[in-house]
């Protein structure tokens, strides 16, 4: 059987199983997540996951950066955190069945109810926790899911997918609701993108090249997620020590999409603020690539000259581009030009500036005096997220349970005709 037929069969099984999952009681869906959470933290299973992850880490060493290796790593604490996220998802309300009811003058009763999307296709890169988060959110929202992870996490993902299928079976649900594609070639991704009729929505989660490839080539509807060229603007009223701390903490985990990549500094404070910020960033050995005014203040030993490409780049590393701007207008213009509509922030003591910034910046999440790192499903109270949507469709920001549903109209009447 060739690869295209294998993937077609997996998608077909997921589609067939999706109908029963959509009608399943909440108790069974929650039980499946509970069984999975218990399995993850049991000693033998946890050792099995860590052993598989060690194989992935060993294979990836030397081919990806240390920052990306950290993104791939699973240890006891991270596995327990994945299980804790499952427990939080269980505690959330059922996203299915709620809605509105109204009656028309002719007596026709219309109900608009929340229903699953159907089958969600996931194409993602090196973070194995995405396997569990995605499957869990899909199961809770009544969606089947087809998972196609990256090569770096192949062994970790396979173990986690197997455990999820086992938990589904133990809960009395069809294990075919979760399908895992073990082939990590570009061809497998391209085949999945073309499974129109079997895949109802495709969600890519990873770097810019992956998102672009899916958006340009898929024949299935796509929710774009992930690319995070995030900015923080320190205006002329910013508290120096507090602002420097927020910037530092927004870069502490550099491999994630809500990590800050560019700092914009109001010209009125740049001479005094830049050395304060630099001292804090030295705690992480962050490389600074700055504009001419930044380099003039910090000197050539502390800052390299930034290029146009730097301001367009999601580094996923301990690198920051820095630019001195005249004020709020230039900061907003820069962000709307170079940003990826993910997460942007202003550090200010001027409430008028904060509200103007939040109103004018085009992004899924716009913060005032808050780190960009809070764009996260758990931090927003969603338990987890399947990705951070940067699109303008029904799903924007952290994609949780409500965003994995659509509506269905149920209409009753007494032999009505039009």
Question: What does each of the 418 residues of the chain score in pLDDT, given as a tens digit?
Answer: 899 999 999 999 999 999 999 999 999 999 999 999 999 999 999 999 999 999 999 999 988 888 889 989 999 999 999 999 999 999 999 999 999 999 999 999 999 999 999 999 999 987 899 999 999 999 999 999 999 999 999 999 999 999 999 999 999 999 999 999 999 999 999 999 999 999 999 999 887 888 888 888 999 999 988 789 999 999 999 999 999 999 999 999 888 899 999 999 999 999 999 999 999 999 999 999 999 999 999 999 999 999 999 999 999 899 999 999 999 999 999 999 999 999 999 999 999 999 999 999 999 999 999 999 999 988 998 888 898 998 887 889 999 999 999 999 999 999 999 9
For the record, the structure tokens of 61 come out as 């060493």
How far apart CA 397 and CA 223 sit, in angstroms, is: 11
Residues of the chain with CATH 3.40.605.10: 3-225+386-412
Q: What is the pLDDT of residue 212?
A: 86
Residues 96/148/214/70 CA torsion (nearest 10 deg): 100
Gap between the Cα atoms of 225 and 106, Å rounded: 44
CA 73/CA 86 separation, integer angstroms: 19
Name the helix (H) or strand (E) containing 408: strand 405-412
Query: What is the sign of the dihedral through the CA atoms of 206, 212, 213 and 219?
Result: positive
Structure confidence at residue 30 (pLDDT):
98
DSSP string, 81-120: HHHHHHHHHHHSPP-SS-EEEEE-TTS-EEEEEEEE-SEE
Q: Which part of the chain has CATH 3.40.309.10?
A: 230-374
Between CA 402 and CA 399 the distance in angstroms is 8
> Contact, 137 vs 384, CB < 8 A?
yes
Task: Yes or no: say if 221 and 203 are a contact pair by the CB < 8 Å rule.
Answer: no
Q: What fold does the segment set 230-374 form as a domain?
A: Aldehyde Dehydrogenase; Chain A, domain 2 (3.40.309)
In the chain, what is the straight-line distance between the N-terminal and C-terminal CA atoms, in Å?
52
The per-residue pLDDT for 210 is 86
Q: Topology of 3-225+386-412 in CATH?
A: Aldehyde Dehydrogenase; Chain A, domain 1 (3.40.605)
Q: Find where tokens 């890169």 sit.
A: 125
Packing angle, helices 154-170 and 26-41, rounded to 10: 130
Distances (CA, A) of 198 to 11, 124, 180, 274, 377: 6, 19, 15, 53, 27
DSSP structural state of residue 64:
B
pTM for this entry:
0.90
As a residue count, the chain comes to 418
- Nearest-angstrom CA–CA distance, 32 and 35: 5
Residue 395 pLDDT: 87
The pLDDT, as a whole number, for residue 225 is: 84
**Residue-level pLDDT at 333:** 98
């Amino acid at each position: 059987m060739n690869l295209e037929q294998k993937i077609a069969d997996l998608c077909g099984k997921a589609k067939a199983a999706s109908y029963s999952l959509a009608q399943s009681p909440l108790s069974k869906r929650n039980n499946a997540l509970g069984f999975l959470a218990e399995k993850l933290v049991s000693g033998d299973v946890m050792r099995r996951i860590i052993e598989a992850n060690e194989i992935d880490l060993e294979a990836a060493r030397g081919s990806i950066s240390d920052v990306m290796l950290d993104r791939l790593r699973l240890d006891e604490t991270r596995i327990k955190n994945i299980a804790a996220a499952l427990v939080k998802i269980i505690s959330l309300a059922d996203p299915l069945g709620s809605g509105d009811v109204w009656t028309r003058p002719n007596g026709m009763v219309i109900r608009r109810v929340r229903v699953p999307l159907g089958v969600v296709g996931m194409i993602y890169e090196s973070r194995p926790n995405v396997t569990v988060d995605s499957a869990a959110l899909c199961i809770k929202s009544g969606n089947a899911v087809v998972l196609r992870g990256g090569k770096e996490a192949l062994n970790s993902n396979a173990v986690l997918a197997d455990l999820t299928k086992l938990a589904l079976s133990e809960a009395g649900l069809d294990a075919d609701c979760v399908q895992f594609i073990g082939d990590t070639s570009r061809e497998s991704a391209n085949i999945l993108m073309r499974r129109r009729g079997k895949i109802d929505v495709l969600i890519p989660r990873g770097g810019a090249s992956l998102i672009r490839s899916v958006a340009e080539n898929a024949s299935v509807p796509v929710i774009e997620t992930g690319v995070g060229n995030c900015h923080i603007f320190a205006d002329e009223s910013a508290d120096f020590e507090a602002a420097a701390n927020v910037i530092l903490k927004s870069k502490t985990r550099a491999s994630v999409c809500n990590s800050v990549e560019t700092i914009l500094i109001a010209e009125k404070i740049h001479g005094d603020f830049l050395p304060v910020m630099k001292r804090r960033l030295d705690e992480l050995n962050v490389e600074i690539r700055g504009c001419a005014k930044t380099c003039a203040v910090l000197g050539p030993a502390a800052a390299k000259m930034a290029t146009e490409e730097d301001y367009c780049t999601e580094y996923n590393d301990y690198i920051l581009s820095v630019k001195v701007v005249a004020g709020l207008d230039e900061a907003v213009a820069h962000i709307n030009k170079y940003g990826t509509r993910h997460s942007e922030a202003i550090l200010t003591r001027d409430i008028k500036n904060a509200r103007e910034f939040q109103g004018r910046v085009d992004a899924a999440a716009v913060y005032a005096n808050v780190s960009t790192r809070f764009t996260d499903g758990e931090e927003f109270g969603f338990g987890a997220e399947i990705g951070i949507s940067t699109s303008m469709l029904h799903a924007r920001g952290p994609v949780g349970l409500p965003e994995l549903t659509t509506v269905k109209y149920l209409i009753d009447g007494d032999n009505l005709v039009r």
